[in-house]
Structure 1
Amino acid sequence: MKLKNLPLLLFCMVITHSYGQLVSGKVIDSDTKLPVSGAVISLGKKQTITGSFGDFRIPASGGDSLRIVRFGYKTYTKLVINPMDAIKVDLEPAKIVIKEVIIHANREREYKKDSAYNRQFYAKQFNYKGPTVMDAFVHHIPKNTSELLSVDVVTLIRALTKKSTRAYKFNKLLLRDEKTNYINQKFSHGMVSKVTGLRGDTLSAFIIQYRPTYAYAQKATDYEMEVYIKECYKKFLKDGFKKNELFNASRKDSVIFRLN
């Protein structure tokens, strides 16, 4: 065997060995170093999603590119050669450096633009409905009274178990993230800090503790949101800041979606 073919042979051996194994890793925010949950992990035709601590495991398919997509972050890709190595990914936030006044005036327009792109990218997942129980009942043109209605057992089972499927969970996760991002742009760190003067952990605790509902964020104008923040700030000063407030408040919205 010629030595010039040795690298190719070794590469093929690694690729073959990788089938059937799992690629594991952790995704964190490159700025804050906090875990990034809800990131979509793709490797070949396989997909999964990061957990609440940013961790993931996905079947290796040999020599495929690992692709990580999360709303608000730059897409990450990496060729996986050795699935035995745990992967640590620093996901970089997508940043737009423009004047503050432009951000304030156009943030809803930017959100709509990003949301439209997200819905287009995940159109199939966003539009997922799944079968209903009524879909399982098939109507017939009656020849006799016994043929008025029949039941499609397979459709009935799919309707009763759809909430445990990956497609259903992913659909709910996308819808939840869309609402979360809308609240984030209306009740942003920048706006809250500007109105209250809060910084750091105290600002984070305030934002989590007094986070408005999606319904309120939809109907509130910028002025009404500022009034809401001022009223909440008065209450915040009266109640005082507790050391464990940030941790306790952050648990209110903790939801773990398992797609497998």
Structure 2
Amino acid sequence: MKRTTIWILFLCCCCSLLVVKAQAQVTLTGTIMDKENKLVLPYASVTNKSTGRRAYSDKGGFYRISASPKDVIVFSFLGYKSDSIVVAQSSGTETRNISLVVEATQLRGVEIGTQYSPYQADSITRREQFGYILDKRDMPLAGGSTPVGAGIVFSPFTRYSRREKQKREFKKIFAKAEHEHYVDSRFTPAFVSKVTSLKGDSLQLFMRENYPDYNTLRTMPQEDLIYWITDKYKAWIKK
């Protein structure tokens, strides 16, 4: 009887150890920043590729996500090359600071007969990459249908929750980035230099001081853009 009892206890201990090992979790934390300028990147996407779990960094670039040993974590941000790491620790908290590199622009050639322009193709890719955030419906205001006089209960799913605020802020950042990508796809150094004959630092200075508005550029045909750049250049050289 004693041997049987000892054997049962031994099996129970082994099972407990296996369960603990299977449930071992790592809290991965750190800061996501621009590698060149060392500026933090707020609302960067953090995806556990092994489980599908997602999170994103806060305004200070700080992120936190749960993982298991050997999980692959992917970091993405608009206009930057994605990067990934493998969780090294077996438990506890693992700190990994991430530096992302700006993605090169204006390098892709235009193929004859292609369905999309380089800007359109890149825009579609960005939309697919961050669709899991952009497609989420904005939650209604807390207490929007609450009877007058009743107390308002703030649910973790209201627009005031941390996750909801991050999602809304990311949508704004995404829209702004898309506007900038569109302007940059038409107001290029090569095109402006061809119109103005400016080169080097003078070209960069002129483009920085005369960066066109997105809404204006959207309604402006290419021929009108040439006239617009010419007028801006004439006014600029008079200074």
What band does the TM-score fall into relative to the shorter chain?
A: 0.5 to 0.7
Look up the match of 1:57: 62
TM-score (norm 2): 0.64
Partners in 1 of 2:43 and 2:104 — Cα distance?
12
Bigger fraction of residues in helix? 1
The 1:56–1:65 alpha-carbon spacing in structure 2 relative to 1, beyond 3 Å, is farther
Deviations 1:173-198 (A, max 9, x none): 11111111111112122212222233
Unmatched tracts of structure 2, length 5 or more: 1-20
Query: What is the deviation of 1:40?
Result: 2.7
Indicate how the Cα distance of structure 1 residues 205 and 154 shifts in structure 2: closer, same or farther if over 3 A, else same. farther
**More displaced 10-residue stretch of structure 1: 157-166 or 116-125:** 157-166
Contact 1:179–1:214, Cα closer than 8 Å, also in 2: yes
Identity of aligned residues (%): 16
Q: In the alignment, residue 63 of structure 2 is paired with which amino acid? A: I
User: 3-state SS of the aligned residue for 2:234?
Assistant: helix
Change (3 A) 1:106 1:214: farther
In 2, Cα distance between equivalents of 1:160 and 1:87: 29
Compute the displacement of 1:220 (Å): 0.8
CA RMSD of aligned residues (A): 4.1
Deviations 1:13-46 (A, max 9, x none): 9xx6x93462235333xxxx44675683415334
Scaled by the length of structure 1, the TM-score of the pair is 0.59
Is the alpha carbon distance of 1:189 and 1:213 closer, same or farther for their aligned partners in structure 2, counting shifts above 3 Å?
Answer: same
Residue-by-residue CA offset, 1:171-224 (whole Å, 9 max, x unaligned):
111111111111111212221222223334433332222111111111111111
Aligned partner letter, 1:111: Y
What is the number of equivalent residue pairs in this alignment? 204
1:68 aligns with 2:75: yes
Find the structure with the greater CA-based Rg: 2
Partner of 2:9: none
Conserved? CA contact 1:27–1:35, under 8 Å: yes
How do residues 31-180 of structure 1 correspond to structure 2 at under 5 angstroms? Answer: 33-34=36-37, 37=41, 40-44=44-48, 45-49=53-57, 56-59=61-64, 61=67, 63-81=70-88, 83-84=94-95, 86-93=97-104, 96-98=107-109, 102=110, 109-132=117-140, 136-137=144-145, 153-154=152-153, 161=160, 165-180=165-180
Letter in 1 for 2:88: I
For structure 1, which segment, 201-210 or 125-134, has the greater mean C-alpha deviation from structure 2 after superposition? 125-134
Amino acid at match of 1:48: Y
Match of 1:250 in 2: none
